[in-house]
Amino acid sequence: MGTAMQIKDKVAIVTGAAGGIGAALAEALVDGGAHVVISDIDEARLAATAERIGAVAVAGDASSEDVIARMIATAQVSFGPVDLFFANAGIGDGLGMSATDEQWQQAIDINVLAHVRAARALVPQWVQRGSGYFVTTASAAGLLTQIGSATYSMTKHAAVGFAEWLAVTYGDDGIGVSCLCPMGVDTEMLRSGMTSGGGTGGKVAAAAVTGAGEVLTPREVADQVLASVAEGTFLITPHADVREFMRRKAADHDRWIHGMQRYQRHLMGEV
């Protein structure tokens, strides 16, 4: 186990928190006695969530250095120095080879560089304090792959890689890192078919997730995340099957790819 952190009386920031896993994380944090700042690009929905759970809202793009600075400054003024950062905002737009450069860049910015920029702003001060905790919301797609979406698969792999690097590099400095890699969670992204554009590709991507195992509620996932933070656990896999899939992939990569190809053919026939 790595560095653990109890959340009571701690100051936390959660991005992508207007709904879904982010809102559930924020609510669980508040319920556990933490002081919470939440952020999302959907300002109206964010404000409603903040009022409902008792958090402070900072609207904006989670990948923007200016917005990240505002989140941190707001937390500092409202509650004190930030103890935990939950890099939860994510996007699924842009599917296969038809994804545009703009969609690729947006996925990279939100799913990866938002984490890098937040860590860049917080980790140096955490090292000085000897304490801090960074939680990355990645996906089982970051350990396996995402049928139907190249942008999502690649950026979630990168998110896992960055979280691993943070843990290795700063674990001896008292900084904890956890990486959340669920399969199906009942969120707006999953219900809308992975992307705002929908279409067959998005439906296949969503079906690949829902067909692989149980769809959990956001609060079920959030509770597992906070339990893992309290224990200092790096890899959080709310769906137990993910670790078995990882073992199969590592044991025989070619066989795993052939199996995923068969699964994709099955899904294409269903959608």
Q: State yes or no: is 170 an active-site residue.
A: no
Give the amino acid at 23: A
**Contact by Cβ (8 Å): 136, 159:** yes
Which entry of 133, 152, 170, 263 is annotated as an active-site residue? Answer: 152
**Contact by Cβ (8 Å): 212, 200:** no
Q: Which of 214, 36, 150 is nearest to 158 (CA)?
A: 150
* CA-to-CA separations, 68 to 30, 58, 124, in angstroms, rounded: 21, 9, 15
Which positions are catalytic?
Answer: 152
